[in-house]
Amino acid sequence: MLLPSCLVLSSSGIHPFRGVHQVTAFTPLVSYAGGMLIGLAAVLLMLFWGRIAGMTGILAGILPPFGSDVRWKASFLAGAILAPLLYQLAIAKVDYQMPISSTELIVGGVVTGIGVTFGSGCTSGHGVCGLARFSRRSAVAVIMFMSFAFLTVFVTRHIV
């Protein structure tokens, strides 16, 4: 229902150039390899510590009120932040482009924080760890956040 009416809107010339954004290169192999590293980290954390590599829980764990897990969570985060820093210093510059304004970024950040807290997880917790252990709860979460992300980008880039 929504889709056809939007297409009519944009083809009628109200937003003729809306949606033309900086193109990023299609990188299937590098992205697949990077994904394997994320999966490997999830497996290793389960193997050594018996925990889900969910970034929402890990980040929440280093915020007050601190639980008993604060130390491993802080260690994991430190590694996750320092590795890209060292990689960029020692090996190669990493592609990073920010196509949106600070205001959009702040709104996106706050909304994301609220959503992952109520939804008990994000792309790493539900998307990787949850799906990998065939959790129905996580499958529902993934379907919801992927659908709404597609819908939101369609609205922000092609309608509003």
Partner 1 sequence: MRYIVVGLIGAIFGLGIITSGMGNPAKVLNFFDLAGSFDPSLAFVMAGALTVAVPGYAFIFRKLRKPVFTSDFNVPTNRKIDRKLVIGSSIFGIGWGIGGFCPGASLPALGLGHLSSYIFVLALVTGIILAQLIQKTKALDIFSRALRRIPLNGDAGELQDRA
Residues 27-66 that bind partner 1 (CB under 8 A): 27-56, 59-60, 63
Residue 114 within binding range of partner 1, rule CB under 8 A:
yes
Q: Which helix (H) or strand (E) holds 126?
A: none
Q: Smallest distance from the beta carbon of 118 to partner 1, in angstroms?
A: 3
- The Cα–Cα gap between 90 and 29 comes to 22
DSSP output for 13-28: TSSTTTT--------H
CB closer to partner 1 out of 8 and 108: 108
3-state secondary structure of 135: coil
Residue 21 within binding range of partner 1, rule CB under 8 A:
yes
CB closer to partner 1 out of 8 and 87: 87
Cα diameter, the chain: 58
Q: Smallest distance from the beta carbon of 42 to partner 1, in angstroms?
A: 5
- The Cα–Cα gap between 127 and 117 comes to 15
CB closer to partner 1 out of 8 and 19: 19
Residue 154 within binding range of partner 1, rule CB under 8 A:
yes
CB closer to partner 1 out of 12 and 97: 97
Residue 9 within binding range of partner 1, rule CB under 8 A:
no
Q: Smallest distance from the beta carbon of 92 to partner 1, in angstroms?
A: 10
- The Cα–Cα gap between 71 and 98 comes to 32
CB 107: neighbour CB atoms within 10 A? 12
| Per rule CB under 8 A, count of chain residues that contact partner 1 | 114
- The Cα–Cα gap between 53 and 44 comes to 9
DSSP symbol at 95: P
CB closer to partner 1 out of 14 and 109: 109
Residue 140 within binding range of partner 1, rule CB under 8 A:
yes
